[in-house]
Amino acid sequence: MSVLINEETKVLIQGITGSQGFFHTRQMLAYGTRVVAGVTPGKGGEQVLNIPVYNTVREAVEKHEPDAAAIFVPAAKAYEAAVESVEAGIKLVVIISEHLPLQDTIKLLVLAKTRGVTIIGPNTFGIIVPSKCKIGIMPNTIYRPGPVGIVARSGTLSYEVASGLSGIGLGQSTVIGIGGDRVVGLNFVECLELFARDPLTEAIVMVGEIGGTAEEEAATYIKNKKLIKPVVAYVAGSSAPPGKRMGHAGAIIERGRGTYQSKIRALTEAGVKVATYPWEVAGLIRQLL
């Protein structure tokens, strides 16, 4: 068992002929992901890495019935690309693209909800079930199958944590990047719910950062639902000055909201073990398992 995807998941790549789309499709294929089709308007009929390319998602869906789409399309076209997949009936859309206009994301999420589609991202590194399926841009080498679910706002920081876990023999059930933007689809709470129901997941790592209130909401969920699986959190940004955007669009303390202190307080009160440093996460998980 795993969360959202597994070895059967058939994946469509939008923007497969672009440099990012091409590079990461090759990586995903090397990982064993079942990439069944690509879409780039105007490039229909071509083959990329032995994968057929279509002009439209609808054609690709008619021929291959993909379960998930990964969007590697530049920001200005990413909204339309994602809507195309939603409208064509694909139930999981992973938006790797960064810098989508906020209003585009908001509109997309409303549409996705009406169709029962799960959106991961934008600005995410993707989702991976180690040794089974990878949809995203994370490195192929750092994950091992195992009992720890990871949900993170940041890519490289989650790689650091995953690699630390793998290093002491603790593999991962599923790793989900929810994205570094202010407004994202799948959020911390929804990921915790998925991990709570997943029999393979025995402990959960949350990698958060300053900005927004997603960590606080996760804390409230953990407290109220009495999530019985242990949770370890690391939150980046304890030293970040207010009003400055720290790399991610969502990583900003604005008008007194989104502070490190508020997140740590909420998580600690909910019984979450909070790591002071990223390299401590693996050890804390080992103590709890």
Positions touching another protein (CB under 8 A) are 75-76, 99-107, 109-110, 125, 137-139, 141-142, 152-160, 163, 180, 182-183, 187, 207, 209-210, 212-214, 217, 234, 236-241, 244-251, 255-256, 276-279
* Beta strands at 203-209 and 172-177: parallel, antiparallel or unpaired: unpaired
Instruction: Tell the burial category of 12 from Cβ atoms under 10 Å away from its Cβ (0-12, 13-18, 19+).
Output: buried
Burial 192-229 (b: 16+ CB within 10 A, else e): bebbbebebbbbbbbbbbbbbebbbebbebbeeeebeb
Q: Which amino acid is at 253?
A: I
Tell me the H-state helices in 88-187: 102-114, 155-167
- Residue 160 CB, nearest distance to another protein (Å)? 5
Task: Give the residue with the Cβ less far from another protein, 154 or 174.
Answer: 154
Task: Give the residue with the Cβ less far from another protein, 73 or 214.
Answer: 214
Going along 153-282, which residue ranges are E strands?
172-177, 203-209, 231-236, 273-274
Contact 40, 53 (CB under 8 A): yes
Q: For residue 105, how many C-alpha atoms fall within 13 Å in the half-sphere facing its CB? A: 24
3-state secondary structure of 99: coil
Task: Give the residue with the Cβ less far from another protein, 157 or 196.
Answer: 157
| Integer Cα distance of 16 and 248 in angstroms | 25
| Integer Cα distance of 136 and 179 in angstroms | 12
Q: Which amino acid is at 209?
A: E
**Whole-Å CA distances, 40 to 56, 59, 80:** 7, 12, 12
Q: Which amino acid is at 249?
A: A
Task: Give the residue with the Cβ less far from another protein, 125 or 195.
Answer: 125
Task: Give the residue with the Cβ less far from another protein, 83 or 109.
Answer: 109
- Residue 208 CB, nearest distance to another protein (Å)? 9
Task: Give the residue with the Cβ less far from another protein, 133 or 240.
Answer: 240
- Residue 22 CB, nearest distance to another protein (Å)? 13
Which residues have a catalytic role annotated? 248
- Residue 233 CB, nearest distance to another protein (Å)? 13
- Residue 44 CB, nearest distance to another protein (Å)? 27
- Residue 103 CB, nearest distance to another protein (Å)? 6
